[in-house]
Amino acid sequence: MELCDLTIHELKRLYAQKEVGPSTVLAAVVRRIKEVEAGTGAYIDLELESAFEQARTAEARLKAGKPLGELEGIPVAVTDNLCRAGKKTTCASRMLAEFVPPNTATAVRNLTAQGAIILGRTNMDEFAMGSSTEYSAVRKPKNPWDPQRTPGGACGGSAAAVAAGETIAALGTDTGGAIRLPAAFCGVTGLKPTYGLVSRYGLVALAASLDQIGPLAKDAQDCALLLNLLTGYDPLDSTSVRKERMDYTRDLEQTLSGRKIGLPREYFGAELDEAVRRVLMEAVAQLEALGAEIVELSLELTKYALPAYYIIAAAEASSNLARFDGIRYRQAAPVGEELNAYYTRARTKGFGPEVKRRIMLGTYILSAEGYKTYYQKAQQVRTLVSQEFKSAFQEVEALITPTAPTTAFKMGERLEDPLSMYSSDLYTVPASLAGLPAISVPCGFVGGLPVGLQIIGRPFAENTILNIAHQYQKRTDYHKARPPRQKEGTV
Partner 1 sequence: MRINEQDLRRIADAARLEFTEAELAEWAEELNRILQYWAKLEEVETTGVPPFVQAWPTSNRWREDTVKPSLPREDALQNASAVQDGHFKVVQSSE
Is residue 472 at the binding interface for partner 1, with CB under 8 A as the rule? no
Q: Are 220 and 196 in contact (CB under 8 A)?
A: no
In the window 352-391, what residues touch partner 1 (CB under 8 A)? 356-357, 359-361, 363-364, 367, 369-370, 373-374, 376-384, 386
In the window 388-427, what residues touch partner 1 (CB under 8 A)? 418-419
Please name the residues in contact with 464: beta carbons below 8 A apart, sequence gap of 6 or more: 251, 397, 398, 457, 458
In the window 300-319, what residues touch partner 1 (CB under 8 A)? 301, 303-304, 307-308, 310-311, 318
Residue 48 or 100 having the CB closest to partner 1: 100
Q: Are 418 and 428 in contact (CB under 8 A)?
A: no
Is residue 88 at the binding interface for partner 1, with CB under 8 A as the rule? no
373 DSSP 8-state letter? I
Distances 150 to 81, 124, 126, 177, 241 between C-alpha atoms, Å: 20, 12, 15, 15, 35
Is residue 162 at the binding interface for partner 1, with CB under 8 A as the rule? no
Is residue 337 at the binding interface for partner 1, with CB under 8 A as the rule? yes
Residue 364 or 445 having the CB closest to partner 1: 364
Determine the residue type at 121: R
CB of residue 285 vs partner 1: minimum separation in angstroms? 33
**Residues in contact with partner 1, total (CB under 8 A)?**
72
In the window 228-247, what residues touch partner 1 (CB under 8 A)? 235, 238-239, 241
Fill in the per-residue mask, 173 to 202: x = in contact with partner 1 (CB under 8 A), - = not in contact. ---------------------xxx------
Is residue 334 at the binding interface for partner 1, with CB under 8 A as the rule? yes
From 19-27, 97-105, 129-137, 461-469, span contacting partner 1 (CB under 8 A): 97-105
In the window 272-301, what residues touch partner 1 (CB under 8 A)? 301
d(CA 57, CA 71): 13
Q: Are 387 and 430 in contact (CB under 8 A)?
A: no
Peptide bond into 38 cis (omega under 30): no
| Buried b or exposed e, range 135-173, using 16+ CB within 10 angstroms | bbbbebbbbbbbbebbbbbbbbbbbbbbbbbbbbbbbbb
Residue 65 or 102 having the CB closest to partner 1: 102
Position among 348, 368, 447, 477 found at the interface with partner 1 (CB under 8 A): 348
In the window 106-125, what residues touch partner 1 (CB under 8 A)? none
Is residue 433 at the binding interface for partner 1, with CB under 8 A as the rule? yes
Position among 296, 333, 447, 489 found at the interface with partner 1 (CB under 8 A): 333
* Alpha-helical segments (H) within 79-179: 106-112, 156-163
Is residue 209 at the binding interface for partner 1, with CB under 8 A as the rule? yes
Q: Are 429 and 307 in contact (CB under 8 A)?
A: no
Residue 185 or 329 having the CB closest to partner 1: 329
| Buried b or exposed e, range 1-39, using 16+ CB within 10 angstroms | eebbbbbbbbbbebbeeeeebbbebbebbbebbebbbeb
